[in-house]
Amino acid sequence: MHRMINKRKDESGFTLIELLVVVVIIGVLVAIAVPVYLNYRQGAADKSAQSDVRGAISAMEQYYTENGNAYPTSPTGVQSATFNLGTSTLKVTMSDKSKLNFIAAGSTYTVCAKNDDGNKFYRYRSSQGGSIEQLSTLTLTTCA
């Protein structure tokens, strides 16, 4: 009976404690990795919205040059997927889950965007020029 309870010398394996330690170590690594991954993903979504604003600015300026130094007056309202400039063939293809708005005001325009997975808004005002503003809150319908 004593021989049946003890392992034979040619048998090998892991004890329950060893397996539990491995599971705890994997759990700790996952607990560290998941928030870091989600943070990178949110940052990528924010950068895609910023990139969409840059693409829209380039398209606006190209439209301006090709159409007698006049900015387009449409489309207005929040756009997603593609952003067509007036009757022009200029089209800005936007990132997945990005929303962009263009507001024309005479000889100036404002472009703003946000990605649904991100938490930052981006706005460009042609009247001020310069760089794209990063904002924590904004209304896409008014860009204000």
pLDDT in tens, 62-109: 888 888 888 877 766 677 767 766 666 667 788 888 888 888 887 888
* pLDDT at position 11 over 70: no
> How many C-beta atoms lie closer than 10 Å to residue 102's C-beta?
25
Token readout for 136 is: 């924590």
Please name which of 44, 47, 48 lies closest in space to residue 95, comparing C-alpha atoms. 48
Handedness of CA 127, 44, 46, 102 (dihedral sign): positive
Contact 118, 51 (CB under 8 A): no
* pLDDT at position 53 over 80: yes
Q: Give 47's pLDDT tier (boundaries 50, 70, 90).
A: very high
Q: Which residue has the higher pLDDT, 128 or 74?
A: 128
